Amino acid sequence: MSTFLFDELIFGPIFSRRLGQSLGINLLPIDYKFCNFNCIYCECGWTGKNNKITLPTKELFYKMLEEKLLVLKNNDKIVNTITFAGNGEPTIHPKFDEIIEQTIILRNKYFPDSKIAVLSNATMINKQKIIDALQKIELPILKLDSAFDKTIKLMNEPKENLTVNKIVENLNKFNGNFVLQTMFLKGLYDKQTIDNSTETEITAWLEIVKQVKPKLVMLYTIARNTPAENLEKISLSKLKAIADKVNKLGFKTQVSG
């Protein structure tokens, strides 16, 4: 299926199902995806094999973000959220922690009511400087698509050996001050049936929710084209049924069908 890349360092604001009018930040290359996951549902397509990586400097980022925010402010535009996402995993950037500091300064100057969000696959939260940076923003949104290693391997195709136990261990370092996001889908991939919305999957996943105690759980499904074929979105009614189970545990939810 046809997917797309973000071809700018700063883009939008665009309307987000979860984040409102969102000003997007892409700290990664603009002409290919750079990630330590190769998710079968990623709207940016498959992760390529590129040896020469060029990432924007923190100086360039600061300059461009201030210019953009100034224009938006002068034109009375709405910015609900400044969102780090883009063509892969944003926390891979070696100056990510410093860039977050810069973003907070500029947000406070131009749009003090806006929130800062980071959409992350949670692979880099084994590093204390990443945890510290994410704890300074309003919406550290960390992914966990299943409670089973087999499903994670199939859905996310991590480049390194990654276990659910290790992800949970790192999520617990946030003491609940983070947002958990989970993509629900079903279909056929690599000659294997996949469905992380089954009773078995949900029961195990709910146990993890109870362990890590997020301040919010985002449940969503496919909204755009995916690199893998034969994938299907989960119905809104089923997503809401899963959310009800989370609510009964005492956690807030946000559903995007």
Confidence category of residue 1, pLDDT binned at 50, 70, 90: very low
Whether 51 has a pLDDT exceeding 70, the answer reads no
Confidence category of residue 74, pLDDT binned at 50, 70, 90: very high
pLDDT in tens, 149-169: 999 999 999 988 889 999 999
Q: Is the dihedral of CA 156, 160, 164, 170 positive or negative?
A: negative
Average pLDDT over residues 36-63: 86
Asked whether the beta carbons of 28 and 53 are under 8 A apart, the reply is no
Per CATH, the number for 10-256 is 3.20.20.70
Average pLDDT over residues 195-216: 98
3-state secondary structure of 131: helix
Q: What is the pLDDT of residue 86?
A: 83
Other Cβ atoms less than 10 A from the Cβ of 245: the count is: 15
Helices 236-248 and 199-212: angle between axes, nearest 10 degrees: 40
Average pLDDT over residues 57-70: 96
Maximum distance among all Cα pairs of the chain, rounded to whole angstroms: 53
Single out the residue of 100, 91, 71, 90 nearest to residue 12, CA to CA: 71
Whether 190 has a pLDDT exceeding 80, the answer reads yes
Q: Which residue(s) pair with 195 in the sheet?
A: 186
Q: What percent of the chain has pLDDT over 90?
A: 78
Asked whether the beta carbons of 197 and 147 are under 8 A apart, the reply is no
Check residue 202 and report its DSSP letter: H
Distance, CA of 106 to CA of 108 (rounded, Å): 5
Q: What is the pLDDT of residue 246?
A: 98
Confidence category of residue 227, pLDDT binned at 50, 70, 90: confident
pTM for the complete prediction? Answer: 0.93
Whether 66 has a pLDDT exceeding 90, the answer reads yes
- Per the prediction, the chain carries an average pLDDT of 93
Confidence category of residue 208, pLDDT binned at 50, 70, 90: very high
Residues 6+ apart with CB under 8 A from 62: 102, 106
72-76, 159-163, 197-201, 242-246: lowest mean pLDDT where? Answer: 159-163
Single out the residue of 202, 187, 201 nearest to residue 150, CA to CA: 201
Q: What is the pLDDT of residue 6?
A: 64
3-class SS string, 33-100: CECCCCCCCCCCCCCCCCCCCCCCCHHHHHHHHHHHHHHHHHCCCCCCEEEECCCECHHHCCCHHHHH
Strands 115-120 and 139-143 come out as parallel
How long is the chain? 257
